[in-house]
Each structure stands twice: as C-alpha cells, then as structure tokens.
Amino acid sequence: MTVITSIDDLKRLYKRRTPKMFYDYAESGSWTEQTFRENSSDFADIRLRQKVAVNMEGRTTASEMLGQPVAMPVALAPVGLTGMQRADGEIKAARAAETFGVPFTLSTMSICSIEDVAAHTVKPFWFQLYVMRDTEFLEGLIERAKRANCSALVITLDLQILGQRHRDLKNGLSAPPKMTPANILNLATKVQWGMEMLQTKRRTFGNIVGHAKNVSDVSSLSSWTAEQFDPKLDWEKIQRIRDLWGGKIILKGVLDEEDAKRAADFGADGIIVSNHGGRQLDGALSSIRRLPPILRAVGDRTEVYMDGGVRSGQDVLKAVALGAKGVFIGRAFVYGLGAMGEQGVKTALDVIHRELDVSMALCGERDVKNLGRHNLYVPANFEGEWA
Ligand code: GLV
C-alpha cells in the first residue's frame, strides 16, 4: 500500500493510472504556460512567520463560505471532464467533499449530469455556469440547477472563447476518447480506468447531450465552446441570469480591480480571483499576486475567494492570511480522483487539511479565522510595479 504524504504523491499515481489525453488536459495551461506556472511559483515567494511558546491546543480550521459552514476554507473548483479522469468522477468527488464538509462545484462541462450528482449526494452543491448563446438551453440549465437544489450559481466570466492548450489539440481531446491507434495503445495500459469506464454509462457531457439542440459535435470541448459559448456576454446578461436564478451568485474569473468593483456593485455574493488555472489568458498575473489589490478594491462588500496554484495547506494558509475568505482547488483534487477515486479525493482533502492545521499551529494560531497578514512575510515587491 503506497503511503501518501503529499498532493505530489497523488499526482504521480494519477499520471500513471490515467489516459494521457485526460492527464494532459488537466495538467496544461494555455500557450507558453507562464501563468499556469506562476500561479504555483508565486505562492512560494510568500513565507510564513514562525511563532513559539504559544498554546496550540484546541485548534480549528472550521469557517464559512457563502454563509455555509465548512470544515476548512476550501471548496472543490468546477473542472470540466472530471468524469473522464475516473469513471463517475463528479459523483465521487462530490461525495468526498460532502463527507469532508467542504463545498463541491459541478462544472457545466461535467460528465455526470446535475441530476445524477444530486441523486448521489445529500447536501446541496454549487453549480458552475457557462453562458451559452442558446437561450433556451441556458435557461434550462439554470432551471435544472434550481430543481437539483444547488445552493449557489458560479458564473464563469473568463472563458467565452477558449485559450489554446497545445496538447489538447495534439491529443485530439474528446469525451469519450476516439479510438485512434495512439489512444488504443495508451488506453491498453490503463486497465483499472478502462474497467471502471466500461461499467458506467456516463461517458460524455451529461449536462449537454440530450438537452442541447443543433450541436454538431458534443464530444469535443473546443468545438462546443466555439459554437455555443456566448461571446457577447456582458453585465446585462449576467443580470438576466441572476433574475432567472434568484439565489446566491459567485462570479469567477475576476483578476482586475475595476472588474472586482463592478462585481461588488452588482451585488455578487462572492467573487473568485482566478485566471482559470492559467488555462486562458497566458501572460496574466498569478491569482495570488492579484488577490491583495482586489481585496483592497472591494473591502468586505463581497466574499473574495481565489483559485490557481493551490497545492498544499500552506498555500491555503497564505491565501487566507492575505484575506481570502476561501480558496478553490481544482487540480489538487483531480490528482486524488485519478489516483484513487473517491478515497483519493478524500485523501487530497486530508493532506491539505493536515498541512493547514499543523502550519497554523507552528505560526502560533489556533483558529483559521484569526489568520492574517501578521502570519506572513510578503516581499515588498510581491504585487509588482506595473505601468
Ligand atoms: C474548461 O473549463 C477548461 O478550462 O478546459
């Protein structure tokens, strides 16, 4: 039995057990991948302030996100094609999140449908919405999320057009994978993945197939986005969606102070400082660098979360100490899922929790809510001086 001590351990197992096409999909950034890399490496520029001789008994990482109690200030990010990383992946991840006590966010581009995830979980989850041209389909999705009792709508604002990820093009990414000689050769080495996939019926985009009309190729994320995502998305449309939804809204993909102020004026319940995991605008600054100026811009008018580059509890500590109300993890839970299914997602959450808890103690803190700027060493030029 392999001893798992870090998210990196899960990543190694994930890589071994998952078809190349889906590993590459998760592990890519757009174009040169500068933003993808810096999301993680910029975290490393911040250091933690060690404190000693402080009572560290009775610690808690419990907090709230969007008024909902969470076991730690971490949510599972929406990740497309999760059910290709492992059979029934969204259901497995949602169940692990539920057991652990953190929110799960289902992607529009998931393999398991909204209804399917709702049928296999007890607590409400969050639904991530891509804004489509087809109004009927869009309204149908919102209605379905309502019927499934989703407790927040996470509207993604930074992917109306797809940033190019070279490997997806070279691999011919699709769900299910096309049976080309290269894919057959690679799939033949992923025995457990294949056996589980053969036992499930969930092998294509569950929220779309059977619901959207006039679609030429539903198996390809890139052709679907090009045909269906609405390039005319603006604040008026976001308002229309809010009227239809009537519940809590999180706006995802905010990286600029002016956009953040606009989102707060709009009355968003939360915003996610995000560059889509470095998968969209290559050359954008990392999320962790953009977090402090955005927090200054909106104050406490809306809850500010971040995602991008979070691979450890120390990363969570840094983002929360800078002022984020919570962070979203994407790749970190996907590694766990691909490595060991539902148990692997649980392990990823356990690893991050342990790291957060112990690091907090060594910083002299007993309550995650007391974390602050005083726990960090942030280089003077961390945000950078950009003209
Ligand atoms: C979709 O959300 C993607 O980044 O591939």
Task: List the domains of the chain with CATH numbers.
Answer: 7-375 (3.20.20.70)
- State the DSSP string of 256-298: SHHHHHHHHHHT-SEEEE--GGGTSSTTPPPHHHHHHHHHHHH
Closest listed residue to residue 107, CA positions, set 37, 26, 52, 11 = 26
Amino acid present at 345: V
Q: How many CA within 13 A on the CB side of residue 149?
A: 9
Distances (CA, A) of 132 to 141, 155, 245: 10, 11, 15
Torsion of CA 239, 244, 118, 280, to 10 degrees: -30
> Which tokens go with 80?
């497309």
**Residues β-bridged to residue 64:** 69
> In this structure, which residue's CA is closest to atom 2 in ligand 1?
80
CA 253 – CA 307 distance, rounded (Å): 9
Reported as a single tens digit per residue, the pLDDT across 144-163 is: 999 999 999 999 999 999 99
CA 152 – CA 145 distance, rounded (Å): 9
Closest listed residue to residue 246, CA positions, set 143, 161, 333 = 143
- Ligand 1 centroid, distance to 80 Cα (angstroms): 6
Reported as a single tens digit per residue, the pLDDT across 297-354 is: 999 999 999 999 999 999 999 999 999 999 999 999 999 999 999 999 999 999 999 9
**Three-state DSSP class for residue 94:** helix
Nearest ligand 1 atom to alpha carbon 156 = 2
**Residues β-bridged to residue 306:** 273, 327
CA 151 – CA 270 distance, rounded (Å): 13
> Which tokens go with 82?
């999760």
Q: How confident is the model at residue 1 (pLDDT cuts 50, 70, 90)?
A: low
Q: Are strands 47-48 and 376-377 parallel, antiparallel or unpaired?
A: antiparallel
Other C-beta atoms closer than 10 Å to the C-beta of 304 total 26
Closest listed residue to residue 204, CA positions, set 83, 295, 310, 309 = 83
CA 21 – CA 30 distance, rounded (Å): 15
166 is catalytic: no
Reported as a single tens digit per residue, the pLDDT across 237-287 is: 999 999 999 999 999 999 999 999 999 999 999 999 999 999 999 999 999
Reported as a single tens digit per residue, the pLDDT across 168-179 is: 999 999 999 999
> What is the widest separation between alpha-carbon atoms in the chain?
66
What pLDDT, on a 0 to 100 scale, did the predictor assign at position 216?
65
Single out the catalytic residue among 120, 166, 276, 353. 276
How many percent of the chain have pLDDT more than 90? Answer: 95
- Stretch among 19-33, 211-225, 266-280 having the lowest mean pLDDT: 211-225
Sequence length of the chain is: 387
- Ligand 1 centroid, distance to 300 Cα (angstroms): 29
What is the average per-residue pLDDT within 33-49?
98
Contact yes or no for 293/383 (Cβ under 8 A): yes
CA 156 – CA 274 distance, rounded (Å): 10
Mutate to test the pocket of ligand 1, among 35, 252, 276, 281 (most ligand atoms within 8 A of CB): 276
- State the DSSP string of 141-178: HHHHHHHTT-SEEEEE-S-SSPPP-HHHHHHT--SSPP
What pLDDT, on a 0 to 100 scale, did the predictor assign at position 254?
98
Q: What pTM does this model have?
A: 0.98
Helix (H) or strand (E) holding 181: helix 181-187
Q: Indicate the annotated binding residues for FMN.
A: 78-80, 107, 128, 130, 156, 252, 274, 307-311, 330-331
Q: Is 53 left (phi over 0), alpha (psi -120 to 50) or beta?
A: left
Q: How many CA within 13 A on the CB side of residue 136?
A: 4
Nearest ligand 1 atom to alpha carbon 163 = 4
**Residues β-bridged to residue 119:** none
CA 33 – CA 277 distance, rounded (Å): 10
- Ligand 1 centroid, distance to 67 Cα (angstroms): 27
Token look-up 């950078």 returns: 384
> In this structure, which residue's CA is closest to atom 4 in ligand 1?
279
